[in-house]
Amino acid sequence: MILAAKTKRNPYNDRFVDGHPTIMTRPFACVRLRWLIALTLVTIAIAYLGLRGNPPSNAVPEQVVLHGPTMGTTYSIRYRPEAGSPPPKEIQRLIDTELEIVNQQMSTYRGDSEISRFNESRSTEWFPVSMDTAMVVDLAQQIAKTSGGAFDITVGPLVNLWGFGPDGGHQSIPSQSQVDAARAICGYENLSVRLNPPALKKEISELRVDLSAIAKGHGSDRLRKLISSKGILHLFVEIGGEIATQGYRDGDSPWRIGIEAPNVDQRSIQTTIELSGESLATSGDYRNFFERSKVRYSHTIDPKTGRPVTLSIAVKH
């Protein structure tokens, strides 16, 4: 089942184990055009292993590592500096500035962001937004149509109902009448988007848009393009587990990613994959859930039923 719900509370941040970053991902993202479909919190471990084959004859510049908070989670950047590329402090400043723009456009954590102001509006007329926001919503709507509504950026009321929304709330099993009432104010069919001029439009005044399932991937892509525009050829970008890569880690060795086994009780790597100029997103139900009568209810919500599902997935593009 492909889903669009994404929790707003993120109890996971980057952690370092034996000197290597462990990354916690959230339900799918994004504008990497990876036709993923947001599912839920899952953990990826970044295992920077040794070079394959012999090391290059020329010395490889030492990696620069940058990190910080954003979008209710964290970002992590690794890159190899090139001759003439800006110093790390300047790259860090550019990164933070770009992420501030993304948050101001698409964050539901901010009451004055574009998407929050659209959500609070009860007007059913066209609501002007930035081109970036319109393009992300447009892509989300394309995925929604292709998936038959399994991916839906309007399911926020259902996420909140189950206690996984931005305000937290009590995690309990709602009645069918409550589920039906929440579903009545959802539905991607009730949302329109145009690019010229960029704007969004509701068919029902209560409709709300939550881009959590796609904005982090969009942010990762924006940072990759930003950093590469400064003459940096080899880089790794991660926001809340949404990964974009370019070039190689060292010499001709791809970036190597460890996928965590979907196990609630212990953390271990199930398999590894290599990325070079590719992206990765993973989602799962084993990091953000509650249990009642030995039944697990995850934060991944099926828009068609309004109820949680059990599923874990990793998609490489």
The Cα–Cα gap between 163 and 260 comes to: 26
Tell me the CA distances in angstroms from 82 to 61, 110, 280, one per residue in order. Answer: 8, 37, 25
pLDDT tens-digit series, residues 206-230:
999 999 889 999 999 999 999 999 9
Per-residue pLDDT reduced to its tens digit, 103-120: 999 998 889 999 999 999
Q: Where is pLDDT greater, at 251 or 285?
A: 251
- How, if at all, do strands 242-246 and 255-260 pair? unpaired
Q: Could you tell me what percentage of the chain is helix, strand and coil, using 3-state DSSP and rounding each to the nearest 5?
A: 25, 30, 50
**Mean pLDDT for the chain?**
78
Decide if pLDDT at 156 tops 60.
yes
Tokens matching residue 227: 């950093």
Report the pLDDT value the prediction gives residue 24, as an integer from 0 to 100.
37
- Band the pLDDT of 314: cuts 50, 70, 90: low
Express each pLDDT in 65-107 by its tens digit.
Answer: 999 999 888 999 999 999 999 999 999 999 999 999 999 999 9
Confidence bin at 34 (pLDDT 50/70/90): very low
Looking at the chain, the whole-number percentage of residues with pLDDT higher than 70 is 69
For 17-31, give one letter per residue: b (16+ CB within 10 A) or e.
Answer: eeeebbbbbbbbbbb
Quote the CA–CA distance of 124 and 4 in Å, as a whole number. Answer: 23
Predicted confidence at residue 139, as pLDDT, reads: 97
pLDDT of 42 higher than 60? no
Query: 132, 140 in Cβ contact below 8 A?
Result: no
What is the band of 262 on the pLDDT scale with cuts at 50, 70, 90? low
Q: How many angstroms separate the CA atoms of 19 and 16, rounded? A: 6
